[in-house]
């Protein structure tokens, strides 16, 4: 089967990691798969032989969106895929429109979070609701029980097309030496280091981790990621006198994420809202003890099949993160318990299981 995946922007983020795994898994099963991005945001996919871009930069305003949609439809008309898989709000809507304009009828959408009720995102949610209700996509994938529950009040015709396929999360392919990993990323040796990964944004709330340093004089924090809050984090760290213990390593490509995680003694995740928490699950699967925001979806996702929690859940503020990291720092028995539970998540979130779920939808 010839398949095209539609993503909104090209960058090293969670949604893109999922389409990477789905693409790799379906290719391993004999399908032809390419991923097209509506626009290029970073250089993360510049050397990916299976990636294409409609626009080289972010579209501005309605004219830009129209240009991206027409360009996507033209791309799909030339590609002539048997099926299209769409991701994220814009990818679902414009990918479906583009696919329909190109004559593609087999469309699988992805719902990776709760519907919005306000602003532009609220409008997109209403459009998605209409599309799903009238059947413009044949299947609508949700990534967790929590996400599925967010659509309980949607029309039955929308919900009957929903299928739950939990995200796959790859296990590390090799063991990395901690000292070597720290050296590779320019991180200090012989300190207690908490690591975290994700875009540097307000909602990811890395400022709580910087605030936690103010309460933990013997702890360092390393952040992997790029984003609009980078300078604000640096300024806040300087104002608190902890800049020497905050280490920003920039965007880490997916192929090196487990090497980065190996540099840490613990993983800290202070996000204020999540739809799955892929980065957090990656850390748990790698064997790092995790301190995570006390969110319902994270409690679900970071629980092993035997019911064991794979993280210590705290309030998503500086005080909560400091307490959680302090407990891990002071009580090594916590580390072993959470590390063991995290490793047991590998089967629960097998990429092979996820890809088999998508293949079944595509062949239905």
Report residue 364's pLDDT band, with 50, 70 and 90 as the boundaries: confident
Mean pLDDT of 261-281: 94
Three-state DSSP class for residue 198: coil
- Is the torsion defined by CA of 156, 160, 164, 165 positive or negative? negative
> DSSP letters along 289-355, please?
-EEEE--HHHHHHTB-TTS-BSSEEE-SSHHHHHHHHHHHHH-HHHHHHHHHHHHTHHHHT-HHHHH
Report residue 65's pLDDT band, with 50, 70 and 90 as the boundaries: confident
pLDDT at 184 over 90: yes
Residue 244 CB partners (closer than 8 Å, separation 6+): none
Better-scored residue on pLDDT, 68 or 294: 294
pLDDT (0 to 100) of residue 80: 94
pLDDT at 359 over 90: yes
CATH number for the region 178-348 comes to 3.40.50.2000
pLDDT at 177 over 90: yes
pLDDT (0 to 100) of residue 114: 87
Mean pLDDT score of the chain: 94
Per-residue model confidence as pLDDT tens digits over 124-152: 999 999 999 999 999 999 999 999 999 99
The superfamily (CATH) of domain 2-168+349-363 is Glycogen Phosphorylase B; (3.40.50.2000)
Per-residue model confidence as pLDDT tens digits over 213-236: 999 999 999 999 999 999 999 999
pLDDT (0 to 100) of residue 335: 86
Report residue 44's pLDDT band, with 50, 70 and 90 as the boundaries: confident
Mean pLDDT of 329-343: 88
Mean pLDDT of 155-161: 96
pLDDT at 333 over 90: no
Separation CA 5–CA 151 (nearest Å): 24
Three-state DSSP class for residue 44: coil
Compute the half-sphere exposure of residue 210: CA atoms within 13 Å on the CB side of its CA. 26
The domain spans of the chain are 2-168+349-363, 178-348
Task: Calculate what percentage of the chain has a pLDDT beyond 70.
Answer: 100
Tell me, yes or no, if the two domains 2-168+349-363 and 178-348 fold the same way. Answer: yes
Better-scored residue on pLDDT, 307 or 208: 208
Per-residue model confidence as pLDDT tens digits over 311-331: 999 999 999 999 999 999 888
Report residue 332's pLDDT band, with 50, 70 and 90 as the boundaries: confident
Separation CA 149–CA 114 (nearest Å): 9
pLDDT (0 to 100) of residue 228: 94
Pairing of strands 2-10, 139-142: unpaired
Residue 348 CB partners (closer than 8 Å, separation 6+): 166, 304, 305
Report residue 120's pLDDT band, with 50, 70 and 90 as the boundaries: confident
pLDDT at 340 over 90: yes
Per-residue model confidence as pLDDT tens digits over 187-219: 999 999 999 999 999 999 999 999 999 999 999
């Amino acid at each position: 089967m010839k398949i095209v995946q539609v993503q909104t922007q090209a960058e090293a983020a969670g949604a893109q990691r999922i389409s990477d795994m789905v693409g790799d898994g379906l290719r391993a099963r004999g399908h032809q798969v390419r991923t097209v991005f509506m626009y290029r945001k970073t250089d993360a996919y510049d050397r990916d032989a299976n990636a294409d871009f409609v626009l080289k930069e972010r579209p501005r305003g309605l004219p830009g969106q129209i240009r991206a949609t027409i360009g996507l439809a033209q791309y799909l008309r030339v590609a002539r895929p048997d099926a299209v898989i769409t991701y994220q709000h814009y990818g679902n809507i414009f990918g479906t429109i583009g696919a329909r304009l190109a004559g593609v009828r087999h469309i699988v959408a992805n719902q990776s979070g709760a519907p919005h009720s306000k602003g532009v995102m609220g409008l997109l949610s209403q459009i998605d609701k209409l599309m799903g209700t009238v059947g413009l996509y044949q299947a609508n994938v949700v990534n967790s029980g929590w996400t599925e529950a967010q659509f309980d009040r949607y029309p039955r015709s929308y919900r009957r097309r929903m299928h739950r396929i939990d995200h796959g999360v790859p296990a590390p392919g090799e063991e990395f030496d901690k000292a070597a990993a720290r050296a590779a990323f320019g991180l200090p040796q012989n300190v207690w280091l908490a690591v975290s990964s994700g875009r540097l944004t307000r909602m990811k709330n890395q400022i709580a981790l910087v605030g936690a340093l103010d309460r933990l004089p013997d702890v360092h924090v390393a952040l992997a990621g790029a984003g609009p809050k980078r300078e604000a984090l640096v300024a806040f760290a300087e104002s608190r006198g902890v800049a020497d213990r905050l280490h920003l390593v920039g965007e880490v490509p997916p192929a090196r994420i487990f090497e980065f995680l190996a540099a840490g003694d613990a993983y800290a995740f202070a996000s204020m809202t999540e739809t799955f928490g892929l980065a957090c699950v990656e850390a748990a699967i790698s064997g790092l003890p995790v301190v995570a925001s006390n969110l319902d979806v994270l409690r679900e996702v970071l629980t092993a099949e035997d019911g064991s929690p794979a993280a210590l859940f705290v309030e998503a503020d500086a005080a909560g993160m400091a307490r959680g990291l302090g407990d891990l720092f002071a009580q090594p028995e916590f580390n072993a318990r959470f590390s063991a539970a995290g490793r047991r998540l590998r089967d629960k979130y097998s990429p092979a299981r996820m890809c088999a779920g998508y293949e079944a939808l595509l062949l239905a």
